[in-house]
Chain A
Amino acid sequence: MREPIEHGVPVVIAGCGAITAVGRGLEPLRAALQKNLSGLRQSEKFSSPRFQSNIVGAAPRNFDEENPAWQLASAALQQAHESSPKVLESIPAERIGLVLSTTKANIEALERISDNRACSDSARRHLQSNLLAADLAAAHGARGPVQTISVACVSGLIAIQQGTRMIQRGEAEAVLVVGVDCLSEFVVAGFTALKALDPIGCRPFDAKRCGLSPGEAGAAIVLVRGDLMSQPAIAIRGFGSSNDANHLTGPSRDGSGLAQAIQAALAAAKLAPNEIDYVHAHGTATSYNDTMESLALHTVFGEACPPVSGSKGMLGHTLGAAGVVETICCVLAMQENFLPGTPRLSVAAEGTPARLVREPRTGVKLRNVLKLNTGFGGMNGALILSHE
């Protein structure tokens, strides 16, 4: 029944693009990762008692511009296209798919409409993330299957998984995976209501951590069927996901759900725990998340946990874009042989993995890398990348 499902077809990353708090493009992101820089800054837009913190990871853009979700996603896709070798040009548009990962799409339009401010038709249309996905696909030469993923903060990893499956099932030969979420009063007011923001900016895995910092990003990855690439690339080796089935906003206290996702990813990748060279954590810097994540890593790796670090002190929590942009961080580290650090971490909290990486380290060959994200609704995701 239906298309034959091809298992084990290698799917590789042909190109990436990112607009983040540290700048436009991969160069500033690579530099920030290598120098442990933070892009978190005070923002006038959020300097009001209505918001718990004004420290955010803002992408280089004008807050007045309409349809920021479209702008960030389009720019990231454009970069990803340009950074990919010619392989995309050889694939017919009907064989190129697109998967959009977002939680709030162009939610800023809802603010405009509620306040009776000007709102263009396209900004309004892109309140609906599936229409944003359709328009991005049309504008960026993807006439194959299109999906819109919205699984809270795990969306990015699930979108990469979905793109991989589309190729493995033979529905596409390449898939553009794009993650986007924008800083908005909506989101910052929401996290304020949850009292989930660190007033002085997030400190992942730090003893004094007390909340996250919201961020924004557009990030894109071009996935291609491995045999179409003429040079070696980084492959999607395996993924796993699970649900805590515990609480809507709080992660399971013992990390068992995330551990289950990691074990599923290891099994899918046919790798043993000791073959993982580096873990890029979710690391939101909320008290519960980082403790839970440390416990999950201990469950899977015991005392032999590989080096761990997180990038939310650099980029903020970019929600639906997080999984995509943080996977790009892993790709850059694997390409340039370095271990990224954990910006804004000063004193590691008790119980965090012993090999938490504070400052970046060069000259470290990373063969297999584990990327984690978790989200509201109890969702856990784990993705493993490998050098082909």
Chain B
Amino acid sequence: MQISTHELKSKVIESLKLQDITPEQIDDDAPLFGTGLGLDSIDALELVVLLEKDYGIVIKDIEEGRPAFRSVKTLAEFIAAKRPQ
């Protein structure tokens, strides 16, 4: 099932309390961590909470989520693949 990257971006902005940025300004392929949005390890953990809360996806080991956290696009694909139907 496809999920809207626009909606996902809004959720990321809200959950990570990013300021002065709109979903439109986030590129689907831009790296989330390091450069890009400048997210860090605490944000990764906050994204884990978001995935469970909003999409029912439980990540036990943060390493498991790492490839999915590369960009909004990879995150959307990960959610589409893992989301309980």
**A and B in contact, CB less than 8 Å:** yes
Chain A interface (Cβ < 8 Å from any Cβ of B): 193-195, 247-250
0 or 1 for each of B57-77: is its CB under 8 Å from A? (1 = yes): 000011000000000000000
B7 at the interface (CB under 8 A from A): no
The reply to whether B41 and A249 form a contact with Cβ atoms under 8 Å apart is yes
The reply to whether A194 and B40 form a contact with Cβ atoms under 8 Å apart is no
A248-B41 Cα distance, complex, nearest whole Å: 10
- Which are the 10 A-B pairs with shortest beta-carbon distances? A195-B62, A249-B42, A250-B41, A194-B45, A195-B45, A193-B45, A247-B40, A248-B42, A249-B41, A193-B49
Contacts of B62 in A (CB 8 A): 195
A195-B47 Cα distance, complex, nearest whole Å: 13
B15-41, CB < 8 A from A: 40-41
Chain B nearest CB from A124 CB (Å) reads 30
Chain A interface helix/strand/loop/mixed: loop
What are 7 contact pairs spanning A and B, CB under 8 A? A193-B49, A195-B45, A195-B61, A195-B62, A247-B40, A249-B42, A250-B41
Chain A nearest CB from B63 CB (Å) reads 10
A248-B45 Cα distance, complex, nearest whole Å: 14
Number of A-B residue pairs, CB cutoff 8 Å, is 15
Chain B interface (Cβ < 8 Å from any Cβ of A): 40-42, 45, 48-49, 61-62
Q: Which residue of A lies closest to B41 (CB)?
A: A250
Contacts of A193 in B (CB 8 A): 45, 49
Q: Which residue of B lies closest to A49 (CB)?
A: B58
Chain A nearest CB from B25 CB (Å) reads 25
Chain B interface helix/strand/loop/mixed: helix
Q: 12 extra interchain contacts, Cβ-Cβ under 8 A, other than A195-B45, A249-B41, A249-B42?
A: A193-B45, A193-B49, A194-B42, A194-B45, A195-B48, A195-B61, A195-B62, A247-B40, A247-B41, A248-B42, A250-B40, A250-B41
Chain B nearest CB from A156 CB (Å) reads 25
Contacts of A250 in B (CB 8 A): 40-41
A162-B5 Cα distance, complex, nearest whole Å: 53
Chain A nearest CB from B69 CB (Å) reads 14
Chain B nearest CB from A289 CB (Å) reads 13
A250-B43 Cα distance, complex, nearest whole Å: 13
Contacts of B41 in A (CB 8 A): 247, 249-250
Contacts of B40 in A (CB 8 A): 247, 250
A194-B49 Cα distance, complex, nearest whole Å: 10
Chain A nearest CB from B66 CB (Å) reads 13
Contacts of A195 in B (CB 8 A): 45, 48, 61-62
Q: Which residue of B lies closest to A249 (CB)?
A: B42
Chain A nearest CB from B82 CB (Å) reads 18
Contacts of B61 in A (CB 8 A): 195
Contacts of B42 in A (CB 8 A): 194, 248-249
A195-B48 Cα distance, complex, nearest whole Å: 10
Q: Which residue of B lies closest to A247 (CB)?
A: B40
Q: Which residue of A lies closest to B62 (CB)?
A: A195
A250-B42 Cα distance, complex, nearest whole Å: 9
Chain A nearest CB from B15 CB (Å) reads 13
A247-B48 Cα distance, complex, nearest whole Å: 20
Q: Which residue of B lies closest to A210 (CB)?
A: B61
Q: Which residue of B lies closest to A52 (CB)?
A: B60
Contacts of A249 in B (CB 8 A): 41-42
A249-B46 Cα distance, complex, nearest whole Å: 14
Residue in A193, A194, A195 with the greatest tally of chain B CB atoms within 10 Å? A195
Contacts of A248 in B (CB 8 A): 42
Contacts of A247 in B (CB 8 A): 40-41
Chain B nearest CB from A82 CB (Å) reads 44
Q: Which residue of B lies closest to A196 (CB)?
A: B45
